[in-house]
C-alpha cells in the first residue's frame, strides 16, 4: 500500500519551527544602520572592524564544539541556549550608557562575544534538526524546497525589518510622526539610537519561544541515544574533520563558500557607511535594505534551478564573476548607481548560502551533520575574522597616511573608507585564482570523494 504524503513539507512541525526560528533570529532591525549605529554610539570604524573580528573569533572557538554537542546532547538544547544568549546580547546594548568610551567599548566587546556564542550554538543545529525531520519522514528530496521557502519568507520579513529599523533610527522622520500623532516631544539621534535594538529584543524573545517548541527527531542512522561522555564529542569532532579533509568534494565546497562569504560579507557589513559615501540620506537606508532583502524572494528559486541543473564548478565560477564585477563597480562610489553593485553582492550571498547547504547536506550523514555544518561555520568565520583584522590594519595605515589626528573626524573617516574600497577587487581576484587552482588540484587528485551521485560535477 503506498503512503500518501502531504504536498508541502510545512506539514512537519519542526520545518515550520525551523523557518520561524530563522526569521526571528536573523530579522534584526538594526541591520540597515549597523555600521553607523556603532559609530553614532561613539566608536571608530577601526573599533567596529576589530569588534567584528572579536565576534568572528568567538564563533571560531565555539563553532565546532557546539556542533558536536548538538549532535550528541541534542540540537534543541543548543537552539534554546542560542535564543537565551541573543536576548542578553541585545539587552545590554539597550541599556548601556553613552559618554564613557572605555565602558562603551567593553560593553560592545561583551555584545560581540555573546553574539558569537549565539551564532556558534545555532550554526548547524537548526539546519540539522530540520533536515533530519525531513529524513525521518522519508522526504530528504524536499530539502531544496524547504531552503527556498525559508529564504523567501525570511527575506519578506527582512524587508519589513529594514524599513522599520531605518525609519525609527531617523530622528527627523520620527519627529514628523510624533507631530502627526500630536505628541509634543523633541527627538534627537540620542533618543532614537536604541529603537532598532528594542525592536530586535522582541525578535529574540520570539526566537526563544519557537526554540522551546521544537522537538528532537528520532535518532537517525543508528546514532547513540541519551547523554554520552564529553570525550565522544571530541571524537565526533575529529571524525567529522577527518571526513571533510578526506572528502575532496566537501573540502572544496567549504573552501569555496568560505572564500566568497568572507569578502562579500565584509563589504555588506559596511554597507551603511558606503551608502553615506554615495550620498544617500539615512532615511532611505531602510528602503534600500528592503529592496536588497527583496532579492531573497527571487534569488533562492534561481539558486535551486542552478544547483539542480548546473555543475558545482560552473555555479561557483558564476559566483566569482558576479563578486569581482560587483566589488570593482563599488570603487568609483557613484551616487545612486552605486546601489547596483551592492545588489550584486547580496545576490552572491544568497547564492553562496544556498549552494553550500544544498551540496553539504546531500553528502553528510545524520550522525555528524551538525558537526560538519559547524566546520562550515568555523571556516567562514575564521576567514571573516581574518579579513576584519586585516581591514582594521588597512584603515589604520590609510588614516595615518591621510594625516589624521587623535580626534575623530567623520569627514576624514569617509575619505579613508573610500580609499579602502580600492583594495577589495584585487584581493578578491587573487583569492579566486588560488581557489580555482586548489579546487582543480584537490578534485583532480581525489575525484568526487564521496559526493552524492545526485550532485552534478
- CATH label of the domain that carries residue 241: 1.20.1250.20
pLDDT of residue 367 exceeding 50: yes
Decide which of 383 and 410 is more confident: 383
More confident residue, 300 or 140: 300
pLDDT digit string, tens, across residues 305-348: 998 889 999 999 999 999 999 999 999 989 889 999 999 999 99
The CB density around residue 321, as the number of other CB atoms within 10 Å, is 12
Looking at residue 227, its pLDDT comes to 46
Query: What is the average per-residue pLDDT within 135-156?
Result: 83
Give the H or E element holding residue 135.
helix 125-136
Residue 452 lies in a domain: no
- Is residue 454 assigned to a domain? no
Torsion, Cα 225 230 236 242, to 10 degrees, reads: -170
3-state secondary structure at position 32: helix
Q: Are the C-beta atoms of residues 129 and 18 closer than 8 Å to each other?
A: yes
Most confident of 66-70, 221-225, 294-298: 294-298
Residue 5 lies in a domain: no
pLDDT bucket at 435, cuts 50 / 70 / 90: very high
Q: Residue 224 falls within a domain, yes or no?
A: no
* In-domain check, residue 259: yes
- Mean pLDDT over 162-167 rounds to 84
Query: Is 247 among the domain residues?
Result: yes
Tell me the three state secondary structure of residue 443.
Answer: helix
Q: What share of the chain has pLDDT > 90, as a percent?
A: 25
**Cβ atoms of residues 165 and 31 within 8 Å:** yes
Distances (CA, A) of 418 to 34, 227, 265, 297, 414: 18, 53, 17, 31, 6
CA-nearest of 118, 202, 193 to 160 is: 202
Confidence of residue 254 (pLDDT cuts 50, 70, 90): very high
- Please count the other Cβ atoms lying within 10 Å of the Cβ belonging to residue 333: 17
Instruction: Please tell me which residue, 421 or 41, carries the higher pLDDT value.
Output: 421
Mean pLDDT of 358-371: 77
Query: Is 3 part of a structural domain of the chain?
Result: no
Residue 319, domain extent: 12-214+230-446
Residues 53, 47: Cα–Cα separation, whole Å: 10
Question: Worst-scoring range by mean pLDDT, 57-71, 98-112, 124-138, 417-431?
Answer: 57-71
Whether pTM > 0.85 for this model: the answer is no
pLDDT band at 145 (very low <50, low <70, confident <90, very high): confident
For 78, the grid coordinates are: 543548543
71-75, 128-132, 423-427, 429-433: least confidently modelled range: 71-75
The pLDDT of residue 118: 86
What's the pLDDT band for 4 if we cut at 50, 70, 90?
very low
> What percent of the chain lies above the pLDDT cut of 70?
85
| pLDDT greater than 70 at residue 87 | yes
Residues with Cβ within 8 Å of residue 404, at least 6 apart in sequence: 412, 416
- Averaging pLDDT over each range in 67-81, 322-336, 404-418, which range is the top one? 322-336
Mean pLDDT of the residues in the chain = 81
Q: Which of 34-48, 197-211, 215-229, 237-251 has the lowest mean pLDDT?
A: 215-229
Going by the DSSP 8-state scheme, the letter that residue 406 receives in this structure is S
In a domain, 139, yes or no: yes
Q: How many domains does the chain have?
A: 1
Cell of 159: 524587508
Contacts with 8 (C-beta within 8 Å, 6 or more apart), sequence order: none
Amino acid at each position: 500500500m503506498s503512503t500518501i504524503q502531504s504536498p508541502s513539507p510545512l506539514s512537519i512541525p519542526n520545518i515550520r519551527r525551523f523557518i520561524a526560528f530563522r526569521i526571528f533570529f536573523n530579522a534584526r532591525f538594526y541591520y540597515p544602520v549597523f555600521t553607523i549605529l556603532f559609530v553614532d554610539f561613539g566608536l571608530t570604524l577601526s573599533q567596529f572592524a576589530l569588534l567584528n573580528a572579536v565576534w568572528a573569533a568567538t564563533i571560531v572557538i565555539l563553532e565546532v564544539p557546539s556542533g558536536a554537542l548538538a549532535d550528541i546532547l541534542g540540537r534543541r538544547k543548543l537552539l534554546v541556549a542560542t535564543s537565551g544568549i541573543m536576548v542578553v546580547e541585545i539587552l545590554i546594548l539597550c541599556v548601556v550608557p553613552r559618554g564613557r568610551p572605555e565602558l562603551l567599548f567593553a560593553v560592545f566587546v561583551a555584545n560581540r562575544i555573546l553574539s558569537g556564542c549565539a551564532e556558534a550554538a545555532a550554526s548547524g543545529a537548526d539546519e540539522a534538526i530540520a533536515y533530519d525531520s525531513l529524513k525521518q519522514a522519508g522526504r530528504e528530496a524536499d530539502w531544496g524546497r524547504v531552503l527556498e521557502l525559508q529564504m523567501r519568507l525570511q527575506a519578506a520579513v527582512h524587508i519589513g525589518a529594514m524599513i522599520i529599523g531605518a525609519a525609527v533610527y531617523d530622528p527627523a522622520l520620527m519627529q514628523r510622526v510624533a507631530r502627526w500623532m500630536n505628541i509634543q516631544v523633541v527627538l534627537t539621534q540620542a533618543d532614537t539610537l536604541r529603537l532598532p535594538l528594542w525592536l530586535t529584543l522582541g525578535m529574540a524573545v520570539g526566537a526563544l519561544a519557537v526554540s522551546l517548541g521544537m522537538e528532537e527527531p528520532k535518532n537517525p542512522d543508528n546514532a547513540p541515544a541519551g547523554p554520552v561522555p564529553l570525550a565522544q564529542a571530541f571524537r565526533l569532532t575529529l571524525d567529522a574533520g577527518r571526513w571533510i579533509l578526506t572528502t575532496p568534494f566537501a573540502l572544496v565546497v567549504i573552501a569555496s563558500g568560505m572564500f566568497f562569504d568572507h569578502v562579500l560579507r565584509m563589504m555588506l557589513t559596511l554597507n551603511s557607511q558606503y551608502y553615506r559615501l554615495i550620498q544617500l540620506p539615512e532615511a532611505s537606508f531602510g528602503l534600500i535594505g528592503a529592496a536588497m532583502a527583496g532579492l531573497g524572494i527571487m534569488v533562492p528559486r534561481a539558486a535551486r534551478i542552478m544547483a539542480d541543473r548546473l555543475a558545482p564548478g560552473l555555479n561557483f565560477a558564476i559566483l566569482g564573476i558576479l563578486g569581482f564585477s560587483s566589488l570593482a563597480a563599488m570603487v568609483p562610489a557613484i551616487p545612486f548607481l552605486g546601489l547596483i553593485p551592492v545588489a550584486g553582492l547580496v545576490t552572491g550571498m544568497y547564492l553562496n548560502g544556498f549552494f553550500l547547504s544544498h551540496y553539504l547536506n546531500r553528502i553528510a550523514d545524520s550522525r555528524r551533520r551538525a558537526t560538519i555544518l559547524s566546520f562550515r561555520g568555523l571556516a567562514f568565520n575564521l576567514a571573516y575574522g581574518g579579513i576584519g583584522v586585516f581591514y582594521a590594519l588597512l584603515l589604520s595605515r590609510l588614516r595615518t597616511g591621510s594625516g589624521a589626528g587623535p580626534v575623530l573626524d567623520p569627514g576624514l573617516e569617509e575619505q579613508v573608507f573610500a580609499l579602502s574600497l580600492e583594495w577589495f577587487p584585487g584581493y578578491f581576484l587573487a583569492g579566486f585564482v588560488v581557489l580555482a587552482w586548489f579546487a582543480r588540484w584537490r578534485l583532480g587528485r581525489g575525484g568526487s570523494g564521496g559526493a552524492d551521485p545526485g550532485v552534478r560535477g
